[in-house]
Amino acid sequence: MTVIDKRRLSVWQWRVLAAAGVFLLLPLLMLILSPKPTLYSGYQQSSAYFSAEGELLSLRLAGDQRYRLRVPLADIAPALQKATLLYEDRQFYRHFGVDLSAVGRAFWQGVIKGGRRQGASTLSMQLARLHFKLNTSTMGGKLQQLVYALYLERHFSKDDILEAYFNYAPYGGNIEGVAAASLIYFGKEASRLTVAEALALSVIPQNPNQRSPLSTAGEQQLELARQRLVTLWLQQYPLADQSMAQRLSLPLQFNNRADLAYDAPHFINQLQVQGLTEGRFYTSLQQKTQQQIQRGVAGYLRRNSDKGFTNASVLLVKRSTMQIQAWLGSADFYNTAISGQVDGVTALRSPGSALKPFVYALALQQGVIHPQSLLNDLPRRYGSFNPENFDRRFVGPVNATEALINSRNVPAVQLQASLTKPDFYHWLKQAQVPLQYKPEHYGLALVLGGMELSMQHLVQLYAMLGNGGNWQTMQWQAQPVTAATQALLSPEAAFLTLDMLRQHTKPQTALLTELIDTAPVAWKTGTSYAFRDAWAIGLSGDYVLAVWLGNFDGSSNPNLVGRAAAGPLLFELLALLPRDVAAEKQLFTADNSLNLKQIALCSRSGELPNKYCPQTQPGWFIPGVSPISVSNVHRAVPIYVDTDLRACRHSPPQTELKVFEFWPSDIAEAYQQAGILLTLPPPYQDACGSGVLLSQQAPQIRSPQPGLTYQLGKHADQQKIALQASFDGAVTQVHWFIDNRYLGVAAPGETVFWHGEAGEFQLRVVDDLGGVATQRLQVQ
């Protein structure tokens, strides 16, 4: 090189130095004039969902299709912090954002001497490049990076800058930030990284494209860089245990993005629907329980595939906190043949008979019945609605508890018709059940599943029975927040309904023997019209569990019967849950604060026993609310000893008293229709004078119904109104009147038809024991 060449080079060098000096004056101006920057402006986070145990359920991409998750410095393993500083910036806590000695060395080597470029970027400078998206491949960009580093150092502490670096640093592919990298590569939070794992992550940001463990070549380059860092680490932090030092050099196993957990996808989707789409979310879901339930459902469907069972949904809630423990929207999220991505927990389906307990609860609360009240399962007409039972049979008289657990339709409709303030429709609206039509659209079919609601709604309703009648919102978080609560049932009505459901016999299968013999469960099933949905919902201990089997396309399957299809699965899944004997006892024990009494009731009539009732059983009632009276079904009748005929008066020793059952006429007829023969008293030996026989039960008009306006049709058969009533068991003849017009005579249980006419009338019936009943009748 000539002397002239050296002089020219020197001039060029001085020009570069002068330019650098000018650009270095910019930080001073920025430090004085610029406001504090927002360190995380535009920082889009992934959504990370964790189970109640702290395990990752799912990591979803951020809006810009990158895996990125913010983490505080305190939650980053100390080993990772030390390793990164050792590898990237040993003077970090001693420089002011720029390491002048490193910059000098790099400038001398790369610019003055024209040799290989050396890195001189501090972590502050790297953060400046990442945060402000600088192009540092040019000299101007490098100087701009230096300026921004000083800018950050002026406004933020060293820990703030180090934390931000870890949150912005690239770790290969579309993975940014050490939190996302730790979850993806090692399946754990950054706070739980081992030293070996920390050393591996520390070398990636320096060259994320070539050292990414997402490819085989990148993993090899990463391993070479990690081994160099291991050497530096052992020099800086020597280990007394040589075997531990050797273990640091062992190859690591990296996971890939395809290995990310993807548990409870329907549950996660619902969280996203609620707007929980950015950052960490620690949910109430129990990952182990979720997986057990998923395996249990898969096994059950496999064993019952010959019945056409292909899909199921399950929701498990902790009753006391309303926290969701397991959520299975379908049997297989990825199975397109069953439309697996449809969420059966939120889908609106017909509940069948699963709503019946709440009609009974309201009837208990409104004083219509008590658990042993006698109901009548006989054909009844409600306008044009003729409810039938699932088995197409009518069993006649049945007590309320048996009617509920055996899911008799006619008594349930009868009870719904008797509800007022609120009626069943408006009560469901209070419970936030989505009823999109007016009450008249559903009518009395509401209790039979003539509407649609989701499994979520059902579980909230059933949980109310175990929570003192209080309806509450679902809880999704690991730490429950204050739930919206509404008292929709009295505590007494809720407990009595629960106690009635507890008496529901469980499905008998060998697989369920252990649970059946031990844990008490209050449960109910439902089957929708045309066998499209099979339901089972149960309360046990502190759990509420709901099960649905069916097809999302609405196709019918005659095997989809609640008790036979969903019931066994319900108990199989309950058997997987840990028992809580204390919670079981609390659930099914009447608290002293409840206004409840348990007394002896006549077994046959469900009323207070008179002295002739042959057998009693304990029963609950709500003092001041429940309809309770002394039974008059069992009556002592004088019988002549020599002729076995009935006497008008008891005159011992010629007569003796024998007890017979005198049922109301409609119940007596129901027994007859059910094939149950009642022992009737013998006929009178002699005619009795007036005043000897008196009606002990006043007539009750059953048809027409009070409060209804009857519309007359055009045809003759549409203008007839059926007149029916219930009478004392001793009545033999009845007379019907409209106003003062005599309509005819009939025997108890017979129907009299009146050819109706427009107007308002008084309907009256008189029995031959002197009993009278009247009712206003409006006809159009």
Distances (CA, A) of 208 to 172, 180, 205, 675, 754: 5, 14, 5, 85, 92
Report the length, in residues, of the chain. 780
Average pLDDT over residues 304-317: 98
Q: Quote the percentage of the chain above a pLDDT of 70.
A: 88
Per-residue model confidence (pLDDT) at position 1 = 40
The mean-pLDDT minimum among 173-177, 329-333, 585-589, 722-726 falls in: 722-726
Q: Does 30 or 325 have the greater pLDDT score?
A: 325
Distances (CA, A) of 166 to 54, 68, 422, 439, 465: 22, 11, 59, 60, 50
Same domain? For 59 and 189 the reply is yes
- 328 within 8 A of 266, measured Cβ to Cβ: yes
Per-residue model confidence (pLDDT) at position 3 = 41
* Domain of 756, in residue numbers: 700-779
Q: What is the DSSP letter of 215?
A: S
Q: What are phi and psi of 516, to 5 degrees?
A: -60, -35
Same domain? For 360 and 229 the reply is no
Q: Collapse the DSSP code of 255 into the 3-class scheme (helix H, G, I; strand E, B; otherwise coil) and give the result.
A: coil
Q: Is residue 624 part of a domain?
A: no
Q: Is residue 143 part of a domain?
A: yes
Examine the fold and report which residue of 455, 490, 522 is the final residue of a domain before the chain moves on: 522
Q: Is residue 309 part of a domain?
A: no
Per-residue model confidence (pLDDT) at position 378 = 75
Q: Is residue 548 part of a domain?
A: no
Per-residue model confidence (pLDDT) at position 105 = 63
Spatial CA neighbour of 193 closest among 182, 185, 204: 182
Spatial distance between the Cα atoms of 449 and 525, rounded to a whole number of angstroms: 12
Per-residue model confidence (pLDDT) at position 27 = 59
Average pLDDT over residues 255-269: 95
Distances (CA, A) of 565 to 209, 300, 308, 762: 55, 10, 11, 51
Same domain? For 512 and 391 the reply is yes
SS (H, E, C) 330-361: CCCCCCHHHCCCCCCCCCCECCHHHHHHHHHH
Amino acid at 432: Q
Q: Is residue 222 part of a domain?
A: yes
**Quick one: pLDDT band at residue 22, thresholds 50, 70, 90?**
low
Examine the fold and report which residue of 236, 259, 282 is the final residue of a domain before the chain moves on: 259
Q: What are phi and psi of 422, to 5 degrees?
A: -95, 160
Q: Is residue 122 part of a domain?
A: yes
Q: Is residue 641 part of a domain?
A: no
- 476 within 8 A of 324, measured Cβ to Cβ: yes
> Does the pLDDT at position 8 exceed 50?
no
Q: What are phi and psi of 112, to 5 degrees?
A: -70, -50
Positive or negative: CA dihedral 177, 182, 187, 188: negative
Cis bond before residue 371 (omega within 30° of 0)? no
Spatial CA neighbour of 127 closest among 7, 195, 40: 40
Spatial distance between the Cα atoms of 44 and 466, rounded to a whole number of angstroms: 43
| Interval 33-84: pLDDT, tens | 678 889 999 899 999 999 999 999 999 999 999 999 999 999 999 999 999 9
Instruction: Point out which residues pair with 720 in neighbouring strands.
Output: 755
**Quick one: pLDDT band at residue 2, thresholds 50, 70, 90?**
very low
Distances (CA, A) of 743 to 675, 707, 737: 32, 22, 5
Q: Does 716 or 674 have the greater pLDDT score?
A: 674
| Interval 506-518: pLDDT, tens | 887 545 555 555 7
Q: What are phi and psi of 395, to 5 degrees?
A: -100, 0
**Quick one: pLDDT band at residue 4, thresholds 50, 70, 90?**
very low
Spatial distance between the Cα atoms of 455 and 433, rounded to a whole number of angstroms: 11
Per-residue model confidence (pLDDT) at position 690 = 58
Q: CA 79, 82, 83 angle in degrees (round to 5)? A: 80
Beta-strand pair 47-50/312-318: unpaired
Distances (CA, A) of 411 to 415, 521, 531, 607: 6, 24, 22, 18
Write b or e for each residue in 263-278: b if 16 or more Cβ atoms lie within 10 A of its Cβ, otherwise e: bbbbbbbbbeeeebeb
Write b or e for each residue in 728-764: b if 16 or more Cβ atoms lie within 10 A of its Cβ, otherwise e: bbbbeebebbbeeeebeebebbeebebebeeeebebb
Which structure tokens are listed for 313? 């949904």
Spatial distance between the Cα atoms of 753 and 741, rounded to a whole number of angstroms: 14
Spatial distance between the Cα atoms of 312 and 550, rounded to a whole number of angstroms: 6
> Does the pLDDT at position 227 exceed 90?
yes
Q: Does 694 or 42 have the greater pLDDT score?
A: 42
Spatial distance between the Cα atoms of 639 and 657, rounded to a whole number of angstroms: 6
**Quick one: pLDDT band at residue 722, thresholds 50, 70, 90?**
confident
Name, in order, each residue with C-beta under 8 angstroms of 204's C-beta and a sequence gap of 6 or more.
Answer: 170, 171, 172, 181, 211, 212, 213, 222
Same domain? For 247 and 105 the reply is yes
Q: Quote the percentage of the chain above a pLDDT of 90.
A: 63
> Does the pLDDT at position 563 exceed 90?
yes
Instruction: Point out which residues pair with 646 in neighbouring strands.
Output: 639, 684
Spatial distance between the Cα atoms of 619 and 609, rounded to a whole number of angstroms: 12
Number of independent structural domains in the chain? 3
Q: Does 194 or 509 have the greater pLDDT score?
A: 194
Beta-strand (E) ranges in 230-311? Answer: 279-282
Max intra-chain CA distance, the chain: 156
Spatial distance between the Cα atoms of 672 and 456, rounded to a whole number of angstroms: 43
**Quick one: pLDDT band at residue 294, thresholds 50, 70, 90?**
very high
| Interval 339-371: pLDDT, tens | 999 999 999 999 999 999 999 999 999 999 999
Q: Does 746 or 226 have the greater pLDDT score?
A: 226
Same domain? For 106 and 209 the reply is yes
> Does the pLDDT at position 729 exceed 90?
no
- 54 within 8 A of 282, measured Cβ to Cβ: yes
Entry pTM: 0.83
Distances (CA, A) of 282 to 47, 77, 262: 11, 20, 15
| Interval 79-112: pLDDT, tens | 999 999 999 999 999 998 887 766 666 555 555 5
Q: Collapse the DSSP code of 207 into the 3-class scheme (helix H, G, I; strand E, B; otherwise coil) and give the result.
A: coil
- 377 within 8 A of 398, measured Cβ to Cβ: yes
Beta-strand pair 47-50/279-282: parallel
Same domain? For 255 and 128 the reply is yes
Cis bond before residue 699 (omega within 30° of 0)? no
Per-residue model confidence (pLDDT) at position 459 = 98
Beta-strand (E) ranges in 296-437? Answer: 312-318, 323-328, 374-377, 396-399
**Quick one: pLDDT band at residue 243, thresholds 50, 70, 90?**
confident
Same domain? For 46 and 168 the reply is yes
Q: Collapse the DSSP code of 590 into the 3-class scheme (helix H, G, I; strand E, B; otherwise coil) and give the result.
A: coil
The enclosing domain of 728 has a CATH number of: 2.60.40.10
Across all residues in the chain, what is the average pLDDT?
A: 88
Which structure tokens are listed for 29? 């101006």
| Interval 366-424: pLDDT, tens | 999 999 999 988 777 666 666 766 776 777 789 999 999 999 999 999 999 999 999 99
Per-residue model confidence (pLDDT) at position 5 = 46
Helices of type H across 25-138: 26-33, 78-88, 100-107, 123-132
The enclosing domain of 513 has a CATH number of: 3.40.710.10
The enclosing domain of 179 has a CATH number of: 1.10.3810.10
Residue 537 half-sphere exposure, CB side, CA atoms within 13 Å? Answer: 30
- CB atoms under 10 Å from CB of 500, counted, come to 26
Spatial CA neighbour of 352 closest among 407, 429, 418: 407
Per-residue model confidence (pLDDT) at position 678 = 83
Q: Is residue 744 part of a domain?
A: yes
Same domain? For 234 and 90 the reply is yes
> Does the pLDDT at position 118 exceed 60?
no
**Quick one: pLDDT band at residue 135, thresholds 50, 70, 90?**
very high
Same domain? For 250 and 357 the reply is no
**Cα 571 to chain centroid, rounded:** 17
- 70 within 8 A of 43, measured Cβ to Cβ: yes
- CB atoms under 10 Å from CB of 525, counted, come to 26
Q: Does 515 or 727 have the greater pLDDT score?
A: 727
Examine the fold and report which residue of 216, 241, 259 is the final residue of a domain before the chain moves on: 259
Find the distance separating the first CA and the last CA of the chain, reported in whole Å.
121
